[in-house]
Structure 1
Amino acid sequence: MAMKIRLARGGSKKRPFYRIVAADSRMPRDGRFIEKLGTYNPQLPKDSEERVKMDMERVKYWLDQGAQPTDRISRMLEAAGVLEKKERSNPNKGEPGEKAKARVEEKAEKAAAAAEAAAAPAEEAPAEEAAAEETAE
């Protein structure tokens, strides 16, 4: 039997409350479970001790029995120091979207055009002054 340590949702609409449970992976999310291991209340502030409560002895027991934690539960266990921290890689997440890239290119083109416009009259002005001096003489 493939066991999972996962969240089972409770609470009313728009007011989530989760039980941390050990369940057969074939059972539905809020369905039958083997054992309740704790609770998770995302409504509370992150620094609150009441936000995540777990029976660590039972969690360790189920991990030793081969139960696989879900991503969210593994992050909670990493924060509690039960599991070692995994290296996660999502290189596309930090990359800007197509429209943002286009805006950056547009802005760079405008800045380059403005710099050219500012440099061009400054170069022409001394030449005009020299030409004006020659005609005056």
Structure 2
Amino acid sequence: MVVIRLARGGSKKRPFYNIVAADSRCRRDGRFLERVGFYNPVASGQAESLRVATDRIDYWVKNGAQLSETVTRLLREAKAKAAAA
């Protein structure tokens, strides 16, 4: 099964997450099929904290991919932010 989840990057105490479509049997930070965005929880100032390719996420979901709980929450926040702007 394909799952859209976060893959951790960055250094110690400075997390950075890629939002990836990956096979559920692969490791969290291992092989993935496609990178569809990123999330930077420690972004400050004008730095972009979240970027998501919603068209690619829609493509994967239409083809049977499942979203992780965290990615679902991030997408909900991104849509609310886009609607407010």
CA offsets per residue over residues 98-119 of structure 1, 9 Å max, x none?
Answer: xxxxxxxxxxxxxxxxxxxxxx
Superposition misfits of 4+ residues, deviation over 3 angstroms: none
- Compute the displacement of 1:80 (Å): 2.8
- Compute the displacement of 1:60 (Å): 0.8
- Structure 1: unaligned runs, 5 residues or longer: 82-137
How many residue pairs align between the two structures?
A: 80
- Structure 2: unaligned runs, 5 residues or longer: 80-85
CA offsets per residue over residues 57-113 of structure 1, 9 Å max, x none?
Answer: 1011011111111111001112233xxxxxxxxxxxxxxxxxxxxxxxxxxxxxxxx
Which residue of the partner structure matches residue 61 of structure 1? 59
The one-letter amino acid paired with 1:23 is: A
Which residue of the partner structure matches residue 22 of structure 1? 21
The one-letter amino acid paired with 1:59 is: I
Does 1 or 2 have the higher relative contact order (CA < 8 Å, sep 6+)?
Answer: 2
Query: Helix, strand or coil: the match of 2:59?
Result: helix
Percent of residue pairs bearing the same amino acid type: 52
Taking only aligned residues, the RMSD between alpha carbons, in angstroms, comes to 1.9
TM-score (norm 1): 0.54
Which residue of the partner structure matches residue 44 of structure 1? 43
Which structure would you say has the larger Rg? 1
- Compute the displacement of 1:25 (Å): 0.4
